[in-house]
Amino acid sequence: MAGERTIVVTGCSSGIGAHCARALKADGWRVFATVRKPEDLPGLETHGIEAFLMDYARTETISDLVGAVLERSGGRIDALFNNGAYGQPGAVEDLSTATLRAQFEANFFGWHELTRQVIPPMRKRGEGRIVQCSSILGVVPYRYRGAYTASKFAVEGLSITLRMELQGSGIHVSLIEPGPIATRFTANALAKIKEHIDLENSPHAADYIRQLARLDGSGPVNRHKLGPEAVLKHALNSNNPRPHYPVTTPAKQGMFLKRLLPADLFYRLMRWTD
């Protein structure tokens, strides 16, 4: 890609998005980063990053973002890193349809809208990279993460279909499937489970005690958890980017065991994984 490369990175208030935005800027990219709250803009702007407000659940903010980026860049978007998301914990039977729909608005439909809007300028240039920060839970299901798992399974299916449809266009689509990463993700998930799940009156009340301990940090520490830098640079610089990039040991093990084991044995094994 000749000239200054441009990339849109979403979910940059903290964690993976914030780290990748700053690191890509240092690596010579022109970074257009998004956050949902005005108070998160200065932390990016002080690093020379062009920051915007965007909410996946509000289509008008997506259109405003793309319009502003195209105006500033002279119509050029080389890459998109869809990253902004949240996890809604809770047993499937405890999830209201409204809660599940909100999860999909933020984690799936908004991603689709932004992706559709950046493809035309990429097609015009005949090249581009679309990198989706999925999750190992988009490949391997996990108890009490049904809403998040469903949204990531949807991202996986739609993205691989898009990858096949874009073959020959010069636009490459890849998925990153992180396992445990040290971010504010679990803290946000803790707030969501308390907001939307009736913890005390659920038939899963006893299990929720353990789930809350995992989310608030009082439970066992995951020794495989990596920092957000583990996600950086996958698929952006490769001449032949792969469709899948599992990140962290648990993610790689999960994908391997799913391929290796009979389905019934694998899902029984996952039933007792905590």
Give me the active site residues, please: 148
Q: How far, in Å, CA of 209 to CA of 270, rounded?
A: 19
Please state whether 86 falls in left (phi above 0), alpha (psi between -120 and 50) or beta: beta
Q: How far, in Å, CA of 217 to CA of 88, rounded?
A: 17
Helix, strand, coil percentages, rounded to 5, for the chain: 50, 15, 35
Q: Which tokens is 18 given?
A: 């914030």
Describe the strand order of the beta sheet including 6-9 as a list of residue ranges.
Answer: 50-53, 30-35, 6-9, 79-82, 128-133, 171-178, 244-247
Supply the DSSP symbol for 47.
Answer: T
Q: How far, in Å, CA of 88 to CA of 146, rounded?
A: 8
CB atoms within 10 A of CB 264: 8
DSSP SS3 for 85: coil
Bridge partners of 9?
A: 33, 81
Alpha-carbon separation of residue 254 from 35, 213, 261 (angstroms) = 31, 23, 10
Q: Are 269 and 257 in contact (CB under 8 A)?
A: yes
- Beta carbons within 8 Å of 85's beta carbon, 6+ residues apart: 11, 106, 107, 133, 151
